[in-house]
């Protein structure tokens, strides 16, 4: 597949996902679209992990090494005020954090590797629900993600709109933070 053709498909997929945002554990539109496309690419597909999570499996050769690549699918409870043609069709729901783009990029990687992958092993394409509320990954793990699938390593990414197009950044160790919830109680006079 030529790069321009894949680019056009990526734009189409992302705009479609952007128009149909759903919040954590309600990502049924994205989940169905992802599963359908992965099947079209020839991948083995597992649905309903953590309710709306999807895993696509691509095996090449006879190698036993594997990696997982993960994208998040959920949107935010925000009213979209943009005026472009592909703005959200769902009241008070918006892909304001870029998860429509993350899902699209992982779909593009799955399509490209299914058609042109030159590796010996397995790639697990993990589409995670409910990243924003911090329960999607935990629920997928609790429901057996790493017992059902022999994943050696997992990689993920997050878009950074301020970066120049065509570039990426990384560093050794942890690179992006997550939202963590905790409670502090103070006792005393005052």
pTM of structure:
0.88
Q: Among positive and negative, which fits the CA dihedral 155, 24, 104, 80?
A: negative
Domain residue ranges in the chain? 3-156
Does residue 175 surpass a pLDDT of 70?
A: no
What is the number of alpha carbons within 13 Å of residue 120 lying toward its C-beta? 4
**What span, in angstroms and rounded, lies between the C-alpha atoms of 111 and 117?**
9
**Which numeric CATH code is attached to 3-156?**
3.40.630.10
- Given a contact cutoff of 8 angstroms between Cβ atoms, the answer to whether 108 and 4 are in contact is no
Q: Tell me which of 159 and 38 has the higher pLDDT.
A: 38
pLDDT of residue 178: 54
Does residue 189 surpass a pLDDT of 90?
A: no
pLDDT of residue 180: 52
53-80: pLDDT as tens digits: 999 999 999 999 999 999 999 999 999 9
pLDDT of residue 157: 84
């Amino acid at each position: 597949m030529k790069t321009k053709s894949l680019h056009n498909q990526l734009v189409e997929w992302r705009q479609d996902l952007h128009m149909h945002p759903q919040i954590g554990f309600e990502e049924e539109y994205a989940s169905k679209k992802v599963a359908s496309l992965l099947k079209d690419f020839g991948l083995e597909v597992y649905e309903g992990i953590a309710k709306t999570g999807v895993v696509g499996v691509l095996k090449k050769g006879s190698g036993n090494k594997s990696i997982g690549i993960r994208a998040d699918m959920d949107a935010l409870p925000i009213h979209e005020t943009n005026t472009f043609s592909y703005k959200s069709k769902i009241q008070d729901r918006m892909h304001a954090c870029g998860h429509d783009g993350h899902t699209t990029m992982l779909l593009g990687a799955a399509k490209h590797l299914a058609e042109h992958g030159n590796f010996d092993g397995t790639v697990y394409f993990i589409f995670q629900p409910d990243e924003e509320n911090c329960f999607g990954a935990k629920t997928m793990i609790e429901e057996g993600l790493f017992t059902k699938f022999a994943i050696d390593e997992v990689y993920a990414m997050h878009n950074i709109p301020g970066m120049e197009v065509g570039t990426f950044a990384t560093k050794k160790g942890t690179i992006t933070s997550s939202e963590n919830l905790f409670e502090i109680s103070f006792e005393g006079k005052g």
